[in-house]
Amino acid sequence: AQSVTQLGSHVSVSEGALVLLRCNYSSSVPPYLFWYVQYPNQGLQLLLKYTSAATLVKGINGFEAEFKKSETSFHLTKPSAHMSDAAEYFCAVSEAAGNKLTFGGGTRVLVKP
Amino acid sequence: EAGVTQFPSHSVIEKGQTVTLRCDPISGHDNLYWYRRVMGKEIKFLLHFVKESKQDESGMPNNRFLAERTGGTYSTLKVQPAELEDSGVYFCASRGVRASTDTQYFGPGTRLTVL
């Protein structure tokens, strides 16, 4: 069975500081990994995905994530936080293209001026 | 291109009543998924349609939940009778038909409150 663990349900960062959101997964097969973001009063929007190509994945809004098989991790980073990054972020895994997603518990990011 | 839409955006009902949630996928998307997030916990998979057929319904919690997708277009999720623990946000997602298409596009969700 798959599982996803996101360390920290809430993260507070200062504007301009590094954003680092941690995600560890377990999967019995090579995983498909996703980061979604939910802005207030909106649905989930895909930030980026890993599907067995390059291990460093670049997404929208300056975010990127690195797949590390040895650490079973897929941490999300952004070098410089912006106020508009305040949202909830979800890491998810699936065992194949189009299969159901298994989500982590989500990390809510607060950006301080 | 219109995204995934869900109706209603909010629903407040009494325990024991019936509620029907609707999802309209992106036009041409054969794959449709339902998920829900209960009380700030993780988002959990409910079921997956391919066209009008249920591909995977392993996440449906019990027989009070009935999902349909007649004609392979929009889908409905009925909860009958609703219980307090059914409160949460119900998300719908859709995906294109090609096997190589792996991205699920989510709707804004329906927030269900059972009193």
CB contact under 8 A, A103 and B42: yes
Q: Give the count of alpha carbons within 13 A of B12, CB side only.
A: 1
In the chain, the amino acid numbered A22 is R
Show which of residues 16-55 on chain A sit within 8 Å of chain B, judged by CB atoms: 32, 34, 36, 41-46, 49, 51
Q: Give the count of alpha carbons within 13 A of B74, CB side only.
A: 13
Which of A109, B26, B98, B30 minimizes the C-alpha distance to A35?
A109
The model's pLDDT over B21-69, given as tens digits with 9 standing for 90+, comes to 999 999 989 999 999 999 878 999 999 999 999 999 999 999 999 999 9
- B99: contact with A, CB 8 A cutoff: yes
Task: With a cut of 90, say whether residue A56 has pLDDT above it.
Answer: yes
Predicted confidence band at B90 (pLDDT cuts at 50, 70, 90)? very high
| Mean pLDDT over each residue of chain B, to the nearest integer | 93
Task: With a cut of 70, say whether residue A78 has pLDDT above it.
Answer: yes
- State the Cα–Cα distance between residues B24 and A84, nearest whole angstrom: 29
- B103: contact with A, CB 8 A cutoff: yes
- State the Cα–Cα distance between residues B69 and B88, nearest whole angstrom: 22
- State the Cα–Cα distance between residues A99 and B66, nearest whole angstrom: 21
- State the Cα–Cα distance between residues A27 and A104, nearest whole angstrom: 13
For residue A40, the chain B residue with the least C-alpha distance is B108
DSSP B40-98: TS-EEEEEEEETTEEEE-TT--STTEEEE-GGGS-EEEEESS--GGG-EEEEEEEE-SS
Mutation to test the B interface, candidates A33, A95, A101, most B Cβ within 10 Å: A101
pLDDT of residue B101: 65
DSSP A8: -
- Note whether A57 and A51 are within 8 A (CB): no
Predicted confidence band at B1 (pLDDT cuts at 50, 70, 90)? low
Helix (H) or strand (E) holding A46: strand A44-50
Percentage of residues in chain A having pLDDT higher than 70: 100
Residues forming a β-bridge with B23: B6, B75
